[in-house]
Amino acid sequence: MHNNYLPTTDASSEQRHGHAGLMAALRNLNETAILLNTNSAALQQLTTQVEELAQEFQSRQGKRLLEYYNGKLGLQESNGMQPYSPVGGLHHPTAAPLTFRVEADKVLAEATYGMTHEGPPQSVHGGITAGVFDYVLAAACTLQDRGGPTLYLNTRYIKPVPLFTPIQFSAWIERIEGRKSFVRGECRAGDTLLAEADALFLHTPVD
């Protein structure tokens, strides 16, 4: 279903909690699916069960349950700007959910990655790391009411980002030139620097 990007929603807290729980269950399903090792008959049986569940999901489709974008309020409530973000949304079935917090003019976010996000053995795929940087650096702009599209994003990989380990991202605006926001970010596991990023965003005021 297209054109279902709701700016606001009247979803109850029970619905939000229920949807988040369902997405967590689906993420667990994705993780266990990667490590399946059984006979062909069992695989076919599981395939049938999943297809039946997909049909059940389709029978209950409609407009999105939640708002597409939640701006600064989402950051302040720790859930992030986009509930359905594929690189950090609590309400996306493949994302490792990012937990946000704000310190002064800096945005901090943390997530733990599993087999679903593996690139090199026991490490997060570099494209996912770059995608999370894009999200978190954009959040730093939104925090300062300077939201807008990414014009470029450069990522420097220093060490592999490990799976099953809490990973911290940070981002802040380094300087502003007119509508341009030059933003920097870091990715760490504890005190170990794993990657750095810099990006340029073009502030696009919303009427």
Q: Which residues contact 185 (CB under 8 A, 6 or more apart)?
A: 133, 136, 137, 140, 169, 170, 171, 172, 196, 197, 198, 199
Are 1 and 58 within 8 A, CB to CB?
no
Confidence at residue 24, expressed as pLDDT on a 0 to 100 scale: 98
Residue pLDDT, tens place only, 36-81 = 999 999 999 999 999 999 999 999 998 899 999 999 889 988 999 9
User: Half-sphere exposure of residue 122, counting CA atoms within 13 Å on the CB side?
Assistant: 2
Report the pLDDT value the prediction gives residue 1, as an integer from 0 to 100. Answer: 47
Q: Along the 207 residues of the chain, how does pLDDT read in single tens digits?
A: 467 888 889 999 999 999 999 999 999 999 999 999 999 999 999 999 999 999 999 999 988 999 999 998 899 889 999 999 999 999 999 999 999 999 999 999 999 999 999 999 999 999 999 999 999 999 999 999 999 999 999 999 999 999 999 999 999 999 999 999 999 999 999 999 999 999 999 999 876
**For residues 32 and 12, what is the distance between their CA atoms, to the nearest angstrom?**
31
Please, what is the Cα angle at 141 between 138 and 147, to 5 degrees? 80
> Superfamily for 1-207?
Hotdog Thioesterase (3.10.129.10)
Give the pLDDT score at 4.
Answer: 81
Domain ranges of the chain: 1-207
pTM: 0.94
